[in-house]
Structure formats: structure tokens, C-alpha cells
Chain A
């Protein structure tokens, strides 16, 4: 039982390049999330998927797209990377809609992305 698995762990991009961050969970969770973590700003929600087949914008969606490929997988795409997207990205999942007592968030190990 691996929990939430993210790939890659590290990535360096040049401005304008594109890439996809992958996330998979093996806990049969319905909801999945993408957060970014920047110094002094905590964790900010980029996009989330309440259930398979649905996606919604979070607090900071500009410059990103997501795909809920199936119940297990939720990917984050940067179409044209910018230096402002340099950050640590965390994927998370929860049994049902997140942020409830009976459905806590489980985080992956993160992807450290640098855009030069």
C-alpha cells in the first residue's frame, strides 16, 4: 500500500516548456487535489477533483490544467512554464470530499519544480 505516489521528484524546466506531473493513489479515494507550497505562503490549492470525472479550480489555477484520468490518477499540466511556477507541488487524496473529520487529506512526497 504505497498511498499517494508522485512523479517526478525533481524537475528543471526552461521558461515556455511544458510538462505533466503525475499522481496516483491506491487507497480507493474519491477526491484528489493539487497544492503548491511556497515559502511563507503555506499550501495553496490549485485544482481538485471531488470524484472521477469532475475537476474544479482552486485558489491559484492560472497557468495549470488537470486531468482526472481515472479514479486512481490525477495529473497536473503546465502548458508554458513560467519562473513564478517554481514551487514544490503536492498531490493529495481523501476518501470523500476533503477537509472533513472522517476524510482527512493524505499527501504525496512532492515534486520540486524549478523554472529558469
Chain B
């Protein structure tokens, strides 16, 4: 089955700097890669997603890149703000469409 690895497990950045989270996946048939943000005590919420036929997608300060050949994808957050502090999860779909999640990255934005 699909296996998703996510790094780093924690990331501390200064406000205004950029943050990058990287994930690798094992199933070459995976075709959908969402990212979820979970604030403390809240539900995971979808922030951006990408299909396998697209290499990059942007939405304001966040972007996701996908390298199918290397089987890795990344989340980029620019001009970080305190409200970006949260746990971020990457995920990849298996052949049925069930999502396999990474272990999560705790992002802390310090003023």
C-alpha cells in the first residue's frame, strides 16, 4: 500500500520568513496530493491540493510542488504570519482513492 513520509516533524520560523515541508510517497499510481492544516484542538482543514498532472499550484502565500518522477511533493508558505502556526499534514491517495497521511509537521511562527 501507499506509504507517506513527511519532514521535518517540527519547524520553527521567524515571522516573515518562508517555510517548506517535504513529503515522499511510495505508490507511483497515486494521483492526488492534498495538504491539511490543523490548528490546536481543531479539525484538519484542506488548504491546498494538487493533481498528478500538475507540477505546481499557488494560492496566495501557499504553494505546492509535485515531482512525480522522484515521488515527492512539498508545501511552501511565504511571508509567514503567527496564524500560520499549526500542524500541517500531507497526504497521497492510493489506487482506490483512500488517503494515506504523513505524520505531520508542527510549524511555529515566532514574532
Q: Which residues of A contact B (CB under 8 A)?
A: 40-45, 48, 58-59, 90, 97-101, 103-105, 107-110
With contact pairs A99-B94, A100-B93 given, residues A43 and B43 touching in the complex (Cβ less than 8 Å): no
- Contact between A100 and B44, CB atoms less than 8 A apart: no
- Contact between A101 and B89, CB atoms less than 8 A apart: no
Q: How far is the CA of A81 from the CA of B45 in the complex (A)?
A: 29
Q: Distance in Å from the Cβ of B24 to the closest Cβ of chain A?
A: 14
Q: How far is the CA of A65 from the CA of B1 in the complex (A)?
A: 22
Q: Which residues of B contact A (CB under 8 A)?
A: 1, 4, 6, 9, 32, 34, 42-46, 49, 51, 89, 91, 93-94, 96-104
Q: Distance in Å from the Cβ of A35 to the closest Cβ of chain B?
A: 8
B98 CB contacts on chain A under 8 angstroms: 45, 48, 58, 97-99
- Contact between A98 and B43, CB atoms less than 8 A apart: no
Number of cross-chain contacts by CB at 8 Å: 58
- Contact between A99 and B44, CB atoms less than 8 A apart: no
Q: How far is the CA of A59 from the CA of B94 in the complex (A)?
A: 12
Q: How far is the CA of A90 from the CA of B93 in the complex (A)?
A: 18
Partner of B32, one of A44, A101, A107, A110: A101
- Contact between B97 and A100, CB atoms less than 8 A apart: yes
Q: How far is the CA of A97 from the CA of B97 in the complex (A)?
A: 6
- Contact between A104 and B89, CB atoms less than 8 A apart: no
- Contact between A104 and B46, CB atoms less than 8 A apart: yes
- Contact between B44 and A107, CB atoms less than 8 A apart: yes
B99 CB contacts on chain A under 8 angstroms: 45, 98-99, 105
Most interface-central of A44, A59, A99, A107 (chain B CB within 10 A): A99
- Contact between A110 and B43, CB atoms less than 8 A apart: yes
With contact pairs A43-B89, A99-B32, A101-B51 given, residues A108 and B104 touching in the complex (Cβ less than 8 Å): no
With contact pairs A104-B34, A105-B46 given, residues A99 and B104 touching in the complex (Cβ less than 8 Å): no
Residue of A with least CB distance to B92: A99
With contact pairs A90-B43, A104-B49, A107-B44 given, residues A42 and B89 touching in the complex (Cβ less than 8 Å): yes
